[in-house]
Structure formats: C-alpha cells, structure tokens
Amino acid sequence: MNDLGDDEPQELLGEHRVEAGLHGQRAQARHLEVLTDRVCGWQADLRLVPTDVLGDLEPFGQQMDQRGVDVVDACPVARQLGVGGHAGLGAFVGHGARDATVRHVTGSDANAQLPRLFVDHPFPDAYNDLVEGRAVILGSGTDDGLDTADAILASATRPWNAAAFALAPNAKVISRVGVGYDNVDVADATAAGVVVCNTPIAPMVSTAEHTLALMFAVTKCLPHHMSRARQGLRGEGVGRALELDNSVLGLVGIGRIASRVAVVGNALGMNVVASDPAVLESPVPGVDMVPFDQLLETADVVSVHAPALPSTFQMFNTAAFDRMKTGAYFVNCARGVLVDHDALLAAIDSGRLAGAGLDVTDPEPLPAGHPLLDRPNVVVTPHIASASVAGRRRLYEHSIENALAVLEGKPASRVIG
C-alpha cells in the first residue's frame, strides 16, 4: 500500500479505488441512520458520505465521483436531516458555508437579482447559454466584481487562499472548472465559510481518450513518420512502431480515467497491470494489481494517473526511469509535477525510453525551445486532454450547476472538505 507513499492517502480515496471503510476505524456509516449499507454510499438513498466516518480525510472530494457520491461533513448533515429522516436535504449547503438563499427572479430588474458568478479566467462566449437568465458573469479574467460575487468559478492556476477570499466577502462557494483543486486552500475556504466544489466526472471521457491518443501517437512513431512524409520520403524498410497486442500497459493509479484506459487496453489485446497504494482489488476485470517497481520493470507503456501529493512529487525521476524497460514508452495526462523532466529528457536521449506523450508538464506550458519540444519521439500537448467539444462544455456546465446549487441551498454534486 506504500508504493506511492502514504502521507496523504485521502487524495487517493474514492474513484472506486478503495473501500473507504478500511481507512480509519473511528466510526462506521451505520452510526448515521440516514445512510445504508456501505460507507461509499452507492447503496445509500441519499448518496452522501460522512467524512468523519473515514477519519481525518481532508480533502478527498476530487475522487468521490464514480457512483454519484457527495462528500460532506457528517455532523452538519445529521443536524440538517435529523436522525433517520430526509427532511432538510434540499437545504444542505456544506460544512462551514456562509448563509445561502434562493433568489427568486421576477420583473424588469431580473439581472440585478440573479446570482453573481465571478470567473477568474476569460469565460467563453460559447457557454453563455449555460447562464442566460440564471446568473450574471463577472470578472472573466479581471477582478471586476469580485467584491460583490456570490460564487467563484475557478481555473487551475490562480491561487485561492485566505487573502483571495478576503477580496470576495460575499462569496459562498468556489467551484473549480476541473478536477484538481491544488490551487484552492480548502482550509482557508472553510474558515471563510466558502464551500469548495469540483467537477470530476466532466473531463473523464475526454482525458481517457486523449491518453489513448498520446499512447498511439508515440508508440506508432507518428511524429517521425509525419516528418518523413513532409520531406517527400517513403516509409522505412524496417519497422519501428510498437505493436500493442500482447504488450504490457502499466497504469500508475487506477481511478476513473485509468479504468477507461484499461478497458480499451484490454480490448486491444494488451496485458494491463496497475499500481495504486489505495486499491486492494482492481475495479476493472482483467487488470492485475502489482507493486510499483514491478510495473516499471515489466510495462511496455507506462501511463500515469496519480494525483499531485507530496509523496508523488517527481515520483518519475532518474531512479524510476532507470527501472523501466529499455525501449518502453511513457504517457502522462495527470499532473506535470509528478515527473522530473530533466530525468525524462535524459531517459529519452539515452535510449532508455523509446518515446513519451505528455499533456501536462512542469512548468506549464513548457517555454518555447525546451528540448522536449524538439525531440521527434516526444509528443507534447498544452494540457488540453479535456478539450473535446463535449468535455469542455461539461466542465463549465457542472461547475455552474455546482455553484448555483449551493446558492440555492441544495447539495452540489461534488463538495470537497
């Protein structure tokens, strides 16, 4: 269970990756009569998980999605619902939330009465229909209106901490337009009475597909062959692409996205293995759970699906790359900080690795002229794995729905902390 470290295992909970009841033994779900059967909630009518049942696990909401589970604090839930009852569910807005009220919009001054959503990045016009008649967009890349905002739609880059929340005294919720909430200080948000939400389902399909696209691009040597085609050259007489059938796909982490990748890997005839310190049994049939070192030593393709934690920072370093099979391929659509890019470059240039596909880097984006951008066996995309038409729209749709739900006194679909 310690292949990736164990300092913050809460970030690896959920995603159907671990039976939450195995982590911490202070209480059981049965102690709340409003829950039934299982702590993870997929058999519970209310679809709620009490965080104190799991021990001191803050934050872990970005993974609690596979079965439509809301992550909440058990104490306010018990107070809101009452033991054994459903009354008050619609009024629950999350632990520590500032008072939230429903806005009833009527008359010619409707816009003045609509919830005010501050967006810390340019809000795409393509998604105006998601807020039309429902909310007013503020900011959109500036700080205009932050002091009057009822809610914040947050990107992945701007830090949201105590100082930032002080600039938004009326905000009751911050809703990430994405999965990771590394840039949101959940403790500071809680202290400010701001509910933190994210959208873990929204980019799942697109990111899994992009992972597979990078895997195909590098194992089939597409940049090399495209270069030859541009030069008017024929194909080479000796093959260089990896045949995926009967090769080994190693997944570092076996959550939502990795599970979808695993299903496709199985369909391609690949032998799929996974390493995840928070998983006792693979959620995908035909996937063997193995130690991290064994995965590195046996996989022809290593695909990374781990969260950014102190224990996973630059987990792919010189030692890790030296353990990988000579001629293996490396794909990362998770977080750039998981990889020592100097070590990756050295592994590429030495021939230890045959190629790499990266959607995330550190720094991000890589500066123009970075050597990884010039290698013919490396494909780098600028953190756009979720950027399908459907995937990107879902990100905004889910983040807006989360924000409006909290403002209306309803449970958001994904609450962190």
CATH number reported for the structural domain that contains residue 135 in this entry: 3.40.50.720
- 160 lies in the same domain as 211: no
Q: Do 347 and 243 sit in the same domain of this protein?
A: yes
Q: What is the C-alpha end-to-end distance of the chain, expressed in Å?
A: 24
Identify which of 217, 347, 243, 357 has the alpha carbon closest to the alpha carbon of residue 300.
243
Residue 98 forms part of a structural domain:
no
C-alpha 3/C-alpha 311 separation (Å) is 10
Is 30 catalytic? The answer is: no
**What is the token pair recorded at 369?**
């002229």
Contacts 24+ apart (CB under 8 A), 126-135: 126/393, 127/393, 127/396, 127/397, 130/396, 130/397, 130/400, 131/400, 133/105, 134/400, 134/404, 135/400, 135/403, 135/404
Q: Are residues 129 and 250 in the same domain?
A: no
* 286 found inside a domain: yes
Say how far apart CA 155 and CA 276 lie, in whole Å: 28
Encoded tokens for 56 = 């001191």
| Contact in structure between 189 and 196 (CB atoms under 8 Å) | yes
Among residues 16, 95, 260, 335, the one annotated as catalytic is 335
With respect to residue 254, please indicate whether it lies within any of the assigned structural domains.
Answer: yes
Instruction: Enter the tokens of residue 398.
Output: 């889910």
Q: Is residue 99 one of the residues assigned to a domain?
A: no
Full pLDDT tens readout for the chain, 417 residues: 333 433 333 333 334 433 333 333 333 333 332 222 322 332 233 333 333 323 333 333 333 333 333 333 333 333 333 322 222 222 233 334 554 443 433 344 556 789 999 999 999 999 999 999 999 999 998 999 999 999 999 998 899 999 999 999 999 999 999 988 889 999 999 999 999 999 999 999 999 999 999 999 999 999 999 999 999 999 999 999 999 999 999 999 999 999 999 999 999 999 999 999 999 899 999 999 999 999 999 999 999 999 888 999 999 999 999 999 999 999 999 999 999 999 999 999 999 999 999 999 999 999 999 999 999 999 999 999 999 999 999 999 999 999 999 999 998 877 887
Residue 2 domain-assigned?
Answer: no
Whether residue 18 is found in the same domain as residue 166: no
Are residues 184 and 287 located together in one domain of the fold? no
CA–CA dist 241, 130 (Å, integer):
44
Residues sharing a CB contact under 8 Å with residue 361, sequence separation 6 or more, in sequence order: 336, 339, 341, 372, 380, 383
Dihedral sign from CA coordinates of 327, 330, 336, 338: negative
Is residue 364 part of the annotated active site? The answer reads yes
Whether residue 353 sits in one domain with residue 234:
yes
The boundaries of the domain holding residue 360 are 204-380
Active-site hit among 8, 364, 397, 408: 364
From 38, 370, 375, 383, active-site residue = 383
DSSP 301: E
Domain count, the chain: 3
